[in-house]
Amino acid sequence: MSLELRGITKSFGALVANDGIDLRVETGEIHAILGENGAGKSTLMNIVYGLVAPDSGHILVNDVEKVIKEPSDALASGIGMVHQHFMLVPVFTVAENIVLGHEKSGFAGRLDLNDVRARIKEVSDRFNFDVNPDDLIEGLPVGVQQRVEIIRALIYDAKVLILDEPTAVLTPQETDDLLKIMKELKNQGTSIIFITHKLREVKAVADRITIIRRGKVVGNASPDASQDELASLMVGRPVELVPKKNPHPIGSAILAVKDLTIRDITGRPLVNKVNFDVKAGEVLAIAGVQGNGQSEVARAMVNLESHVEGSIVLDGKEIIGLSVRDSLREGIAFVPESRELDGLIASMSIAENLILDLHDMPPYAKGIQMSPATVLSEAEKRKVEFDIRLQSVQDPISSLSGGNKQKVVLARELSRPVKMLVASQPTRGLDVGSIEFVHKRILDERDAGRAVILFSTELDEVLALADRIAVMYRGEILAIVPAGVSAQELGLLMAGVVHA
């Protein structure tokens, strides 16, 4: 089935999200739509799926114009969508979720799931999804939940499948699995619209690439285009995808971690006797698939974990047992894994978020009286220094894009006297331009002689930034390898394979 968009335009107030977009997706192709956050990709797809009404433009399915006012119209036309945030009921089973909205009653009004169960099995077998219709959603890994969403679309006869940033929430393994699934779907005749800003994935699966910038189609590319070409089309200027890393003298150890064990509330160890050190002017990357204990190690660096044994010595001082506040003030800059949950307070202003840590210190406060004027003027300085794109520092933080939010976190954490930077998944969900900024900033800290620990699940990021790489697997450090290691070798280590 082919899908064509002609002259789709949509404005939100003064912002033109989509400006006369033309797009054609052929039967059985994977068509990538590449663009930075805020370029208008999601708006365009929400229009196709009937979630947003366009100001003007036409949607043609198999060259026949269709009016799509609601998702049910889209589904009836054979268009299915898997959202970035899954629309699943956690306490329902796979089958119950899929049947939702299309329930059939059996004897005496009993919910009849036999049909849908059989169809899930059939689809799952056909594409090697490995999904059991009777599993509870809440017990499934994110990658499998996503497959449930795909099955739902397929069962309701989607011939064109829209995947909105599908890999944003996946681990590298799950991403590889998804890319395989996409190819398999394509081979069996499904068209896929793949919304993303990740160049490697685009090059791996796309047949054609349309690049959108500021609401307009700025170009088409074939998958043979280099990552640099794609990135500069997307951002609108040349981009340094792999940051320049200067050779740099490495100093003495700033941080020494010995026999660090972290337990969960039941006493089960999540991290087991981990040892490492980080030297001044060095980036130590702690790599690993999500959920192997890295998050806990990162949080333990500022005493956010409660059941911790062992020792963490920063610049000659044991810091285990300090309050979070005192840990930070010992000279640790901490970029938490989730900026939305742990890094920022959505309803507070940008200026206030910039001083969450130092709000009770001069110059922001004298005694308990705060100085709003200083808070604002300092925020203006951070805005310039960290190139935070904002309208007013008094706007709520929720008005910013992901990249700018992360800049606020960095600006806050690096505005204290810092000996060590602990950055946990610092570029997760960011676009190319912002990633470039964050990477550069991390290397700047290294070059300024600070110790940097980078926790990351992204292979490319680890390889680009690290001086040494520690790989975590099931709560232990499997190996610490030098920066020159190959991506393949690192991937194997992350999967827990140690070879002699």
Give the residues lining the site for another protein (CB under 8 A): 302, 304, 323-329, 334, 336, 341-349, 351-352, 356-357, 359-360, 365, 368-370, 372-373, 375-377, 379-380, 393-394, 412
Closer residue to another protein (CB): 14 or 373: 373
Tally Cβ neighbours within 10 Å of residue 491.
17
Q: Closest separation between CB of residue 148 and another protein, Å?
A: 27
Q: How many CA atoms lie within 13 Å of 244's alpha carbon, on the beta-carbon side?
A: 3
Within 13 Å, how many C-alpha atoms sit on residue 381's CB side? 8
Query: How would you list the strands of the sheet with 3-12, edge to edge?
Result: 15-25, 3-12, 56-61, 64-66
H or E stretch at 94: helix 94-99
The Cα 454–Cα 312 span in angstroms is 17
CB 419 → another protein: shortest distance, Å?
A: 16
- Bond prior to 362 in cis (omega within 30° of 0): no
Q: Are 450 and 414 in contact (CB under 8 A)?
A: no
Residue among 4, 129, 152 at smallest CA distance from 66? 4
Q: What is the 3-state secondary structure (H, E, C) of 349-374?
A: EHHHHCCCCCCCCCCCEECCEECHHH
Collapsed DSSP state (helix, strand, coil) of residue 64? strand
Shortest gap between Cβ of 318 and another protein (angstroms)?
Answer: 18
Beta carbon of residue 389, minimum distance to another protein (angstroms, whole number): 18
Nearest approach, Cβ of residue 422 and another protein (Å): 11
Task: Name which of 259 and 360 has its Cβ closer to another protein.
Answer: 360
- Angle at the Cα of 124 (from 121 to 129), degrees rounded to 5? 145
| Smallest distance from another protein to CB 329, Å | 8
Residue in the structure block whose two tokens are 């968009």: 5
User: What's the token pair of residue 448?
Assistant: 């300024």
CB of 359 to another protein, least distance (A): 5
Neighbours of 363 (CB within 10 A): 12
Smaller CB separation from another protein, 154 or 328 = 328
Q: Confirm if 192 and 45 have CB atoms less than 8 A apart.
A: no
Long-range contacts of 322-331 (CB under 8 A, 24+ apart): 325/357, 327/301, 327/302, 327/303, 328/302, 328/357, 328/416, 329/416, 330/419, 331/416, 331/417, 331/418, 331/419, 331/420
Measured from the CB atom, the residue of 276 and 334 that comes closer to another protein is 334
| Cα(371)–Cα(363) distance, integer angstroms | 8
- Beta-bridged to residue 56, according to DSSP, are 9
342 or 476: whose CB is closer to another protein? 342
SS3 state of residue 400: coil
Residue closer to another protein, measured from CB, 12 or 189: 12
Q: Which is nearer to another protein, 199 or 319 (CB)?
A: 319
Distance from chain centroid for Cα 278: 26
Q: Which is nearer to another protein, 70 or 326 (CB)?
A: 326
Whichever of 288 and 343 has its CB closer to another protein, that residue is: 343
**Closest distance of CB 51 from another protein, Å:** 19
Kindly tell me which of 229 and 357 has the beta carbon lying closer to another protein. Answer: 357
Query: By C-beta, is 352 or 445 nearer to another protein?
Result: 352
Rounded alpha-carbon distances, angstroms, from residue 300 to 18, 245, 304, 323: 44, 28, 6, 11
Minimum CB separation of residue 301 from another protein in Å reads 12
**Cβ at position 449, least distance to another protein in Å:** 24
Asked whether the beta carbons of 414 and 441 are under 8 A apart, the reply is yes
- Nearest residue (CB) to another protein, 79 versus 421: 421
CB of 350 to another protein, least distance (A): 11
Q: How far is the CB of 256 from another protein (least distance, A)?
A: 23
Nearer to another protein, 49 or 386 (CB): 386
Name residues whose C-beta falls within 8 Å of residue 185's C-beta, 6 or more positions apart in sequence.
Answer: 127, 150, 154, 161, 192
Query: How many angstroms separate the CA atoms of 437 and 400, rounded?
Result: 16
**Beta carbon of residue 328, minimum distance to another protein (angstroms, whole number):** 5
Sheet holding 308-314, edge to edge: 269-279, 253-263, 308-314, 317-318
